[in-house]
Amino acid sequence: MAERFTSVDDVTARLRTASYLSNPTISGVTFLADRLEKPVLIEGPAGVGKTELAKAIAEVTGSRLIRLQCYEGLDEAKALYEWNYKKQLLRIQIDKAEGADWAEVESDIFSEPFLLTRPLLEAIRSEEPVVLLIDEVDRVEIETEALLLEVLSDFQVSIPELGTIKGGATHPIVLLTSNNTRELSEALKRRCLYLHIDYPDLEREKDIVRVRVPEIDEQLAEQIARVVRSIRSLDLKKAPSISETIDWARTLIYLGKSEIDPEVIGDTLHVLLKYQGDIAKARRELSVPSAASAS
């Protein structure tokens, strides 16, 4: 198999070209995932960059990103494959009109032209480099995890009508993300490397803001990181994500703000927080005025 990265430092440097600021742990696990050809289970709060990591890896390795968005009720037909029933029915009608027997019809309709590939099978069969993102795997039922095990163990899929379909020359880099809404099975965890991504420390979040919002100066970026850090320390329903920090930084630039004061926070707090209860709590704890009272 072709190796996508030469070292842990290479991972860090190349991810930075995609505006993703890694750290030694993230880079180390990414490097091992490539060398060991093992999936990575990434856990952590929503909005810390789990999905963005997959996008960045795909970008810097020139790979196609295939995403399976998990949800309650996801089944084999949406994750793996299904048969094109309408096309099969038309073929059955044509074959019958031509006098074909059932054995001929059956071998005809259960063949490649009638197979609809879904993300898992598509990633396995791809002859080009692929990053497979299985996003929010904790949203599916425990039974659905069984669909993933054969894929993650051997990069192959068993289709009763066609037999075992094995992966191409290049195995995909597989990233599974979880927001910890439920405990995942031990069988799934055994097949994966593990990576936990938490909210960044102050210095790293400041650097992220400066990379993603290049026009911002260092002083304002640091103020933003400090305020966001203070807000995350509160008991909130949903703490600000990194993407919301970046949105706030861009908001302040668009509004022509060069520094942060209580009034600025009060006027723009809705960019960081998305629940009215969280906004009210943050106003009380940070002693900032509401937009209405400030006007």
Q: Tell whether 289 is covered by a domain.
A: no
Both 21 and 41 in one domain: the answer is yes
- Residue 262, CB-side half-sphere exposure with 13 Å CA sphere: 11
Residue 225: Cβ within 10 Å count:
23
Is residue 292, in this structure, part of any structural domain at all?
no
- Residue 86 within any structural domain of the chain: yes
Q: Residue 237 has what pLDDT?
A: 94
State the burial class of residue 240 (Cβ atoms within 10 Å of its Cβ: 0-12, 13-18, 19+): buried
Domain of residue 58, CATH code: 3.40.50.300
- Do 67 and 90 have their domain in common? no
CB 142 within 8 A of CB 186: no
Q: Is the same domain home to 179 and 238?
A: no
Same domain, yes or no, for 76 and 152?
yes
Are 139 and 30 contained in the same domain?
yes
Query: What number of other Cβ atoms are within 10 A of residue 157's Cβ?
Result: 22
**Are 161 and 242 members of one domain?**
no
One domain, residues 14 and 91: no
160 and 206 share a domain? no
End of a domain among 196, 213, 245?
196
Query: Does some domain include residue 291?
Result: no
Q: Per residue of the chain (295 residues), what is the pLDDT tens digit?
A: 568 999 999 999 999 999 999 999 999 999 999 999 899 999 998 889 999 999 999 999 999 999 999 999 898 888 888 988 899 888 888 877 777 777 777 778 888 888 888 999 899 888 899 999 999 999 988 878 877 877 787 788 888 888 888 877 778 999 999 988 888 889 889 999 999 999 999 999 999 999 999 999 999 999 999 999 999 999 999 999 999 999 999 999 999 999 999 999 999 999 999 999 999 999 999 888 775 454 4
Question: pTM value?
Answer: 0.85
CB 165 within 8 Å of CB 121: yes
Task: Report the chain's mean pLDDT, rounded to a whole number.
Answer: 90
Count of the separate structural domains present in the chain: 3
CB 291 within 8 A of CB 267: yes
What is the chain's alpha carbon radius of gyration, rounded to the nearest angstrom? 24
Is residue 21 one of the residues assigned to a domain?
A: yes
Asked if 188 and 178 sit in the same domain, the reply is yes
Print the domain residue range for 99: 82-115
Residue 168 lies in a domain: yes
Q: What is the pLDDT of residue 294?
A: 45
Domain boundary among 165, 196, 227: 196
107 & 249 share domain: no
8 A C-beta contact, residue 102 and residue 95: no
Q: Is residue 166 located within the same domain as residue 239?
A: no
Last-in-domain residue among 70, 94, 115? 115
Q: Answer yes or no: is 108 within a domain.
A: yes
Cβ-based neighbours of 212, under 8 Å, separated by 6 or more: 19, 246, 249
Residue 153's pLDDT is what? 79
Let me know whether 211 and 75 are in one domain: no
